Chain A
């Protein structure tokens, strides 16, 4: 019972410390808050502001105003409301792809590094071949064959395509880290394999892993919107890619009045990516004590 209390108290203190660290870097804090905000708006927003069902012929292609904060599109629908409703798919796909691809990359990379020998050669040869395949054309072609009308299937496919380069990097990290003296010291202290992996090795790779994950996430956002923009993935629901695609098809490029309907979804994508990348900076400080400037 006492041990449990100790562990709980320790976890509590650690969480508090982590939160404190997250707020230390201004850029990182902006990223953290922004990411949370985008997630909340994308998932909670549609409940408060459901998508408009019909077109408003009187309000087509308006600029910003008090009534329509971010203008309206070719159907006269409010851009702000549309962008809030269009975030869910993008966020889901970004996080799912990021997490899945990172998991695959970390598992394959560390298994390869730990087992070595034949398994290592085989896995890395596979990865090398995988790396030479041009991903986006393959994704585009696959998307025309496989029905990709829900975010989960799309994430699975993209994660499956995106893990190899990470696995190579993880492999070399593990190979280098497992030779360190402090790992040897931990083995001599008989701290156990699980402990050595999770408390000696992993913390030293965490900043790298999270940053790679965020890299994969931003890449996934691009891939997804590109697919939608090219019209390969038939999305029925509104999302940022669909908004860009629709605006472009309605000739926004030749109609300065309608600029807002393409700038808004683009801005949303840029903001989300910026938020993720700045958040990565904060995470780096959380996982790497050497980066923390002393108070």
Chain B
């Protein structure tokens, strides 16, 4: 098996807020192969973005290691560091904040090209800028070169963001809620563009979203990881996850996706949670952090023992329910 492009090895990230410690990401293990699409889903505050930022190298891990092609990214130096730095790029969530308002589109895209010497001379730089704009479907490019970010729509800006990330020919792209702030009508075209790029350039993509329906669409060929309060609770190939969800949380999420047919949605059986409140990150529940809300709560074992992510029926699941037979399953 070839070396995975990114490996998370027991990665934990804590933040201290007013002398209290918040664990945003707790002991996550994950490896991503070259050219793979992986989606991280979960509700807000579950550590998806923190995970993405750690992989992108803008946030150091508090514990554990992140490996880029087998090398710990916190220990990289010189050309190796540079290779990682340019190899992993990120698309931010907010297209209104991720482009410098003081520069034109052509200046934004040309800056990394010039700085790293990817192009020689002005004519070549301009050619490359045009080409990149075409790659992200901003055509004709001449309409956009001299525009400022504030003159573009959210979707167009997000495309510019992607074009900027592509200037340095990355091999790994972290897309952090990249389509959440874009009008629904252009989400699909943005997603299709990302898929097209992924196929054309052999990019690996870590797609972070809170919308499981979106993850289902985008990661159909890849894997989906479900996060809950900083922990990875289920990880499996997208199709398998959708057809055969094993973790109770995943089941709840899937049951909450509305169907295209309103009639079907109305009659769809929704799994009820034991509690609607998301626990505070400052006072995480003991044992399995999902136990206060879990519809398949087993009792003492869930309250006291943190379940490990283990292989179960073609997926990786962290739940006591799947690792041991449920004695009271019939009563539930």
Structural contact, B102 and A289, CB atoms closer than 8 A: yes
Establish whether residues A189 and B122, one from each chain, have CB atoms under 8 Å apart when the complex forms: no
- Alpha-carbon separation in the docked complex, A9 to B150 (Å): 27
Q: Which residue of B lies closest to A205 (CB)?
A: B102
The reply to whether A289 and B150 form a contact with Cβ atoms under 8 Å apart is yes
A167: min CB distance to chain B, Å? 22
Q: Report how far A6 CA is from B121 CA in the complex, Å.
A: 7
Residue B111 CB within 8 A of the other chain = yes
A189 touches B101 (CB 8 A): no
Q: Which of A174-193 contact B (CB under 8 A)?
A: 180-182, 184-192
Given contacts A182-B100, A200-B100, A289-B150, contact A188 B111 (CB under 8 A): no
The listed residue with most B CB atoms (<10 A of its CB), out of A182, A199, A200, A204, is: A182
Q: How large is the interface on B (under 10, 10 to 19, 20 to 34, 35 or more residues)?
A: 20 to 34
B39 within 8 A of A: no
Q: A180-B97, A189-B164 are in contact. Are A287 and B58 (CB under 8 A)?
A: no
B102:A203 contact, CB within 8 angstroms: yes
Chain A hits for B103, CB < 8 A: 199, 203
Partner of A191, one of B56, B97, B101, B111: B111
Do B102 and A2 touch across chains, with their CB atoms under 8 A apart? no
Q: Does B50 contact A (CB under 8 A)?
A: no
Q: How far is the CA of A184 from the CA of B98 in the complex (A)?
A: 8
**Cβ of A3 < 8 Å from any Cβ of B?**
yes
- Please state if A190 and B148 are interface contacts (CB–CB under 8 Å): no
Q: Is A195 an interface residue (CB 8 A)?
A: yes
Taking CB as reference atom, which chain B residue is nearest A3?
A: B121
A294 to B147, CA, bound (A): 11
Cβ-defined partner of B101 (8 Å) among A9, A185, A195, A204: A204
Q: How far is the CB of A60 from chain B (nearest CB, A)?
A: 57
What is the number of contacts between chain A and chain B, taking CB atoms within 8 Å?
78
Q: How far is the CA of A18 from the CA of B130 in the complex (A)?
A: 24
Q: Is the CB of A184 within 8 A of B85?
A: no
Q: How far is the CA of A188 from the CA of B52 in the complex (A)?
A: 13
CB-based contact B115/A192 at 8 Å:
yes
Q: Report how far A186 CA is from B97 CA in the complex, Å.
A: 13
B97 partner, pick from A182, A187, A200, A294, beta carbons under 8 A = A182
Q: Are B99's CB and A182's CB within 8 A?
A: yes
From known contacts A2-B121, A181-B92, A287-B102, infer whether A189 and B168 are also in contact, taking CB-CB under 8 Å.
Answer: yes
B45 within 8 A of A: no
Nearest neighbor of B100 in chain A, beta-carbon distance: A182
- Quick check: A189 and B121 within 8 Å, CB to CB? no
Interface residues on A, range: 20 to 34
State the CA gap A9–B126 with chains docked (Å).
Answer: 14
Nearest-CB distance from B156 to chain A (Å)? Answer: 16
Quick one: given A10-B122, A188-B90, are A181 and B164 in contact (CB under 8 Å)? no
Residue of B nearest to A202 (CB): B102
- B222 lies within 8 A of chain A by Cβ: no
Q: Is the CB of A185 within 8 A of B102?
A: no
Is the pair B89, A188 in contact by a Cβ cutoff of 8 Å? yes
Q: Is the CB of A204 within 8 A of B82?
A: no
Residue numbers in A under 8 Å from B82 (CB-CB): 190
In the bound complex, residues from chain A placing their C-beta under 8 Å from that of B64 are none
Determine which residue in A181, A192, A200 has the highest number of CB atoms from chain B within 10 A of its CB, and name it. Answer: A181
A290 on the B face (CB < 8 A): yes
B23 interface contact, C-beta 8 A? no
Residue in B57, B94, B99, B104 whose CB lies within 8 Å of A188: B57
Chain B residues with Cβ below 8 Å from A190 are: 82, 85-86, 112, 115-116, 168
Contact between B101 and A290, CB atoms less than 8 A apart: yes
Residues of B within 8 A of A2 (CB): 120-121
Residues 87-136 of B at the A interface (beta carbon under 8 Å): 88-90, 92, 94, 97-104, 111-112, 115-116, 120-122
Query: 7 tightest A-B contacts by CB?
Result: A203-B102, A181-B98, A6-B122, A181-B92, A289-B148, A181-B97, A182-B100
Residues of A participating in the B interface, judged by any CB pair closer than 8 Å: 2-3, 6, 9-10, 180-182, 184-192, 195, 199-200, 203-204, 287-290, 294
